[in-house]
Amino acid sequence: MIKRIVVELPVHVKKYFMFEFDGYQKKNGTDQIHVDKHSDLGELIHLLSQPILYTQKPVVSSGKSTLSIEYYTHVQALDISHQKLPQLAKYMEKMFRRSLINEVQGTYELVGCDYGPLVSRFLEKRGIIRDVDIDYQTARKIFRDHIAKKVRKSAKMYA
């Protein structure tokens, strides 16, 4: 059975998932992705699903930063409660951050150049408009904080 959930996300996270899962815009204007159950997001949705024995009122996409996620489940009673949707959105933002760190870190360690253009390339590749969808300094800060954390961790090892 194919089920749908609607999640309210920041614009940059929505564009990231639209790129990663080959999202499309339906005729009514809602952006939608189909998630395979063997992907990271699909496994997360499966873990958040629980038996809900009553009918939930369906969430309608209200703004331009909502994303409709379509997934398959073979048990009809399994669904994600509306109270869990903010947690799902929070974890989806963590997935965006982790992806940015992994991609930028791979090139940064190989080349050793400034990471600013690498962050810009990550955003451009996914159609995220710099300083409109996400502040450029915020995106740089994600990787800068990761570097600072690694430096603190290595300082502890040698102290």
Question: Quick one: pLDDT at residue 93?
Answer: 96
Contact 103, 122 (CB under 8 A): yes
Question: What is the residue type of 151?
Answer: V
For residue 159, the model assigns a pLDDT of 58
Which pTM was predicted?
0.88
pLDDT at 76: 76
pLDDT in tens, the chain (159 residues): 888 899 999 999 999 999 999 988 887 778 899 999 899 999 999 998 888 777 777 776 667 789 999 998 887 778 888 889 999 999 999 999 999 999 999 999 888 889 999 999 999 999 999 999 999 999 999 999 999 999 998 888 775
pLDDT at residue number 157:
73
Q: What is the pLDDT of residue 64?
A: 74
DSSP H/E element including 138: helix 136-158
The reported pLDDT for the residue numbered 53 is: 72
The CA-CA-CA angle for residues 94, 99, 80, to 5°, reads 40
* Residue 33, pLDDT score: 93
What lies within 8 Å, CB to CB, of 37 at 6+ separation is 43, 45, 46, 71, 72, 73
Closest CA to 147 of 99, 101, 86, 103: 101
pLDDT of residue 125: 94
- Round to whole Å and give the CA distance between 12 and 15: 5
Q: Write the CB contacts of 157 (distance below 8 Å, at least 6 apart in sequence).
A: none
Domain ranges in the chain are 2-89, 96-158
